[in-house]
Amino acid sequence: MKRLIGFMVLFMATLFATSPNQILKMAKDSGLEAMPKGKELKNFQIQKIKELGIKAKKVFTQEQIELGKMIYFDPRISSSNLISCNTCHNLALGGADLVPAAIGHGWKANPLALNSPTVYNSIFNAVQFWDGRVHNLGDQAQGPIQSDVEMSAPADLVVQKITSIPEYVQAFQKAYGKDIKIDFELITNTIAIFEASLVTPSRYDEFMSGNLKALNKEEQEGLELFVQKGCASCHSGVNLGGTMQAFAVAKPYKFADIGGFKGDQDGLIKVPTLRNVAETMP
């Protein structure tokens, strides 16, 4: 009798369990999207780079990506010659720095107690910076370089340093043509080109693209809960975040006053991506 009851319970649970197809539909209906891949991904990256207004016949070329990578790792673009983009957005640490508040010029912590968001998949963010004040990676790159509490390097100094190095001048000419003018905007846009290449597709994307076996049963149940509990209300889109949302919707956030950060003028903040979240905790 006990076996029969156990079998009936198991049968009923199986009968009413949410199917993978239903979970996929729920996820898509809630605003979750797969990362584009192949030609679709490259076209998306090219389009985002074209929006920067770079005066070149082609953008997102391998030469431009490699040049952006060189600058990204070069601490000489900071006034101290010690801090590179990779210092706070360390590609070996999930694209972040894993400390509660970013450490910048003079080895001081960010005065607003802000931590460094991951640079991986940042091309999919609708806005950049926690207060969403810019919308593209080129403008974003200009901020930390010039910020007194980050790299503390005036734009003119950065251009002076880059153009004083013959190998850099040659690399820019190879990437953009011999007549290219190397200014601060082109330098930061080139960093953005490299950052646009930093994408990390996963099995989750395969599931969202229709491969129902890409996630195991427990992972599918987790995705179902993620949608049902409303997590996808803020952590949505391709990047599971990256848009501006209201701060403390459910209840007051007990750390809201630390450092004085209030978000933008409307009290909205950029939602952190949940991609690689296990590796990017502050």
Asked if 123 and 199 count as a contact pair (C-beta separation under 8 A), the reply is yes
Asked if 77 and 150 count as a contact pair (C-beta separation under 8 A), the reply is no
Mean pLDDT of 12-36: 86
| Domains observed in the chain | 18-35+202-279 (1.10.760.10), 38-196 (1.10.760.10)
Cβ count within 10 A of residue 61: 17
Q: Which residues of 195-211 are buried (b: 16+ CB within 10 A; e: fewer)?
A: bbbbbeeeebbbbbeee
Asked if 182 and 163 count as a contact pair (C-beta separation under 8 A), the reply is yes
Structure tokens that stand for 13 in this block: 């649970």
Asked if 84 and 74 count as a contact pair (C-beta separation under 8 A), the reply is yes
Q: Give me the chain's average pLDDT, please.
A: 92
Residues recognised as catalytic:
150
Cβ count within 10 A of residue 231: 16
The pTM (predicted TM-score) of the whole model is 0.91
- What pLDDT digit, counting tens, does each position of 70-113 carry? 999 999 999 999 999 999 999 999 999 999 899 999 999 999 88
4 confidence band (pLDDT: 50, 70, 90): low
Instruction: Give pLDDT, residue 7.
Output: 53
- What pLDDT digit, counting tens, does each position of 152-196 carry? 999 999 999 999 999 999 999 999 999 999 999 999 999 999 999
- What pLDDT digit, counting tens, does each position of 213-243 carry? 999 999 999 999 999 999 999 999 999 999 9
Q: Residue 239, exposed/middle/buried by CB under 10 A (0-12, 13-18, 19+)?
A: buried
Structure tokens that stand for 214 in this block: 């890409």
Mean pLDDT of 234-257: 87
What distance in Å separates the CA atoms of residue 78 and residue 105, rounded to the nearest whole number? 8
Asked if 134 and 127 count as a contact pair (C-beta separation under 8 A), the reply is yes
What distance in Å separates the CA atoms of residue 166 and residue 205, rounded to the nearest whole number? 43
Classify residue 156 as left (phi > 0), alpha (psi -120 to 50) or beta.
Answer: alpha
10 confidence band (pLDDT: 50, 70, 90): very low
